[in-house]
Amino acid sequence: MFKGAITALITPFRNGKLDAAALRKLVAFQIRNGIHGIVACGTTGEASTLSFEEHEKVIQIVLDAVKGKVRVIAGTGSNSTKEAVILTRYARKAGADAALIVTPYYNKPTQKGLIDHYKAIAEEVDIPIILYNVPGRTGVNMTADTVARLAEIKNIVGLKEASGNFAQICEILRSTPEDFCLLSGDDALYFPMLALGADGVISVTSNVAPREMVDLYEACVAGDIARARELHFRLWPLMQVLFIETSPIPVKTAVAMMGMVQEELRMPLCAMSEANRKTLAKVLAGLKMV
């Protein structure tokens, strides 16, 4: 079971190349602040513009830097089932605790196509698999019925859910086994989903505020809903501003403002507008993060 605050880690670059030293520092910052897990090569990690070699290198560096202190989930999704199998095989060989596999993007498979895709990967690679549903990015929504059917497969253990559809979220919670983990894929819905019975979050915000995101989870688990609500609303401006432009542009800019990475994105992502940069800086200053 995967629970708690799990960071969808950014991938730092320097002069167009992977910045391994900065990546190790980011991992150390996360562990120092009590994070429950790390996702390497997710959407926030700009996985779609990493080469296969870079993708594997990021996973390996994160695993080496973590040294078993927290769980590492490797993003291994692709709109090609064959490529997803290759990446997932590497994640297992490298020692990742699970693979996070996004629904295929652009080609818009049917629900049967989604089932066939995930079933093929699960049969090829014996590693815990976390499904990832983010229709706003991929153009396809994985329905609650599809999730329930995939949850019957032994090594499909959870779902990162970012549809924003509360009816669908409730149906997933109702129709999947108790040991199937549901993780929020939307920071703004982290607290509400915990209240419904979700197990945690795979978070963009925890790149900037890992301790606070951990504290929110632990307050909920302890039954201190007032404290969890307080943390939710304290973090609310940050959760909003980190999506003021296409993610991960704002979060990478924020981490750069905090002095941990170079402010370098990979095209076609580009630098934030000056107006949005000022808004971001104001929120970070208000939270005493810069």
Alpha carbon distance 140, 212 (integer Å): 32
Sequence-distant (6+) residues with CB within 8 A of 178 are none
Closest CA to 150 of 199, 195, 101: 101
- Residue 106 annotated to the active site: no
In eight-state DSSP terms, residue 271 is: P
Helix, strand, coil percentages (3-state) for the chain, rounded to 5, are: 50, 15, 35
Catalytic hit among 108, 112, 119, 132: 132
Give one DSSP letter per residue of 87-132, joined into a string.
HHHHHHHHT-SEEEEEPPPSS---HHHHHHHHHHHHHH--S-EEEE
Place of tokens 């926030």: 44
Q: Which tokens hold the place of 50? A: 């990493």
Alpha helices, DSSP H only, in the chain? 20-32, 52-66, 81-94, 111-124, 135-138, 144-150, 166-175, 190-196, 210-221, 225-241, 249-257, 274-286
Q: Which tokens hold the place of 13? A: 């670059």
Q: Are 101 and 128 in contact (CB under 8 A)?
A: no
Alpha carbon distance 99, 129 (integer Å): 5
Catalytic hit among 17, 67, 93, 160: 160
CA distances 159 to 74, 133, 149, 172, 286, Å, are 14, 7, 12, 9, 33
- Residue 93 annotated to the active site: no
Supply the residues annotated as catalytic.
Answer: 132, 160
